[in-house]
């Protein structure tokens, strides 16, 4: 997205500034398309609110005159519409980014938004699987798309799940791999471009290499080097929904909780590394987190596990 959407409820000068900001996000910041789409929606909601709130489309001059109460009124209206605290926090972050862009480009300046407090987010701890459960998921991945699916589909599912757990990949990162990037033979690392265009190098365990090699040996399709590594039964790129359905089936077969999702394998990767002595900075690099504070949540996961063991094992805890 390189231009301002035509349905922005704003006067020409503000719409032009919005277009410049969206180009900046795409070209200079290189934010992911989904992130840019979310920020665009946030700006649309804000401009639509201002148009109703002030009786007409806003201009840059109107933006300069906004007070903290105006932003709070917008957030309150969104809250009444049922928007979650997490979405509100993202919306406020997007608007702050836009106002900062306008300031740095010398277009206009208004720091009132900085006086608005970010909505408090519920504090959630990632739900990691046990080591045995994580290992079983990859080992027991059977026909994933339908009962009686061919053997190569089972091999594919096992390869995908082994990569998610063995290398801590996001599902989109695993399914975005090209055939030329297949970690087989001497190719024992992957260069992954994650959120925000951040690139990282992750090792691939021999068991994951073997799983990918087994899948490639059985796959009935000729995979072009620049085409997808993992494909569905029609030879097109495998969808995340198929992998989610595989996990759903395995949850029932292995009596695992609903929290056992493809992304839980990434959480398990980080938690199990931490539990076996890996350095937090190293885990940050492997996961591709921009901030160490994002990775630090796994220390709480490991603490929770230790406290559970303590409660179950210590004689005075019974």
Catalytic site residues? 170, 195, 263, 266, 289, 298
Continuous H helices in 108-191:
131-139, 151-167, 171-175
Long-range contacts of 169-176 (CB under 8 A, 24+ apart): 169/202, 169/266, 170/194, 170/263, 170/266, 171/240, 171/243, 171/262, 171/263, 172/240, 174/230, 175/228, 175/230, 175/237, 175/238, 175/239, 175/240, 175/243, 176/228
- Residues written for the chain: 318
Residue 262 in contact with residue 213, Cβ under 8 Å? no
Which sign, positive or negative, has the C-alpha torsion 159, 165, 167, 172?
Answer: positive
Are the beta carbons of 163 and 169 closer than 8 angstroms?
yes
Give the residue among 61, 64, 92 at the shortest CA–CA distance from 76. Answer: 92
Structure tokens at 132: 């045995």
**Which residues does 147 contact at the CB level (< 8 Å), separation at least 6?**
none
Q: How far apart are CA 3 and CA 233, in angstroms?
A: 38
How many C-beta atoms surround the C-beta of residue 209 within 10 A? 21
Q: 291 CB contacts (<8 Å, ≥6 apart)?
A: none
Integer-rounded Cα Rg, in Å, for the chain is: 24
58/307 Cα distance (integer angstroms)? 54
In sequence order, the 6+-apart residues with CB closer than 8 A to the CB of 111 are 99, 103
**Do residues 179 and 226 make contact, with C-beta atoms less than 8 angstroms apart?**
yes
């Amino acid at each position: 997205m390189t231009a301002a959407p035509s349905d922005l409820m704003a006067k020409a000068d503000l719409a032009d500034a919005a277009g410049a900001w969206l180009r900046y996000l795409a070209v200079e910041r290189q934010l992911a398309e989904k992130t840019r789409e979310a920020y665009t929606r946030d700006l649309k909601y804000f401009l639509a609110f201002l148009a109703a709130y002030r009786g007409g489309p806003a201009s840059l001059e109107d933006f300069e005159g906004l007070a903290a109460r105006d932003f709070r009124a917008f957030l309150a209206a969104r809250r009444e519409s049922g928007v979650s605290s997490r979405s509100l926090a993202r919306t406020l972050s997007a608007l702050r980014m836009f106002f900062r862009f306008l300031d740095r480009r010398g277009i206009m300046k208004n720091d009132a938004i900085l006086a608005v407090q970010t909505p408090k987010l519920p504090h959630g701890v990632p739900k990691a699987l046990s080591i045995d459960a994580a290992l079983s998921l990859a080992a027991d991945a059977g026909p994933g798309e339908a009962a009686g699916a061919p053997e190569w589909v089972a091999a594919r599912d096992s390869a995908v799940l082994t990569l998610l757990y063995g290398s801590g990949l996001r599902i989109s990162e695993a399914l975005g791999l090209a055939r030329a990037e297949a970690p087989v033979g001497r190719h024992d690392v992957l260069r992954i471009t994650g959120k925000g265009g951040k690139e990282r190098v992750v090792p691939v365990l021999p068991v994951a290499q073997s799983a990918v090699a087994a899948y490639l040996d059985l796959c009935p399709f000729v995979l072009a080097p620049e085409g997808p590594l993992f494909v569905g039964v029609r030879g097109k790129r495998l969808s995340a929904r198929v992998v989610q359905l595989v996990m759903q089936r395995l949850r029932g077969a292995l009596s695992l909780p609903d929290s056992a999702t493809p992304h839980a394998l990434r959480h398990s990767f980080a938690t199990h590394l931490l539990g076996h002595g890996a350095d937090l900075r190293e885990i940050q690099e492997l996961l591709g987190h921009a901030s160490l504070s994002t990775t630090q949540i796994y220390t709480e996961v490991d603490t929770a596990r230790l406290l559970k063991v303590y409660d179950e094992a210590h004689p005075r805890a019974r």
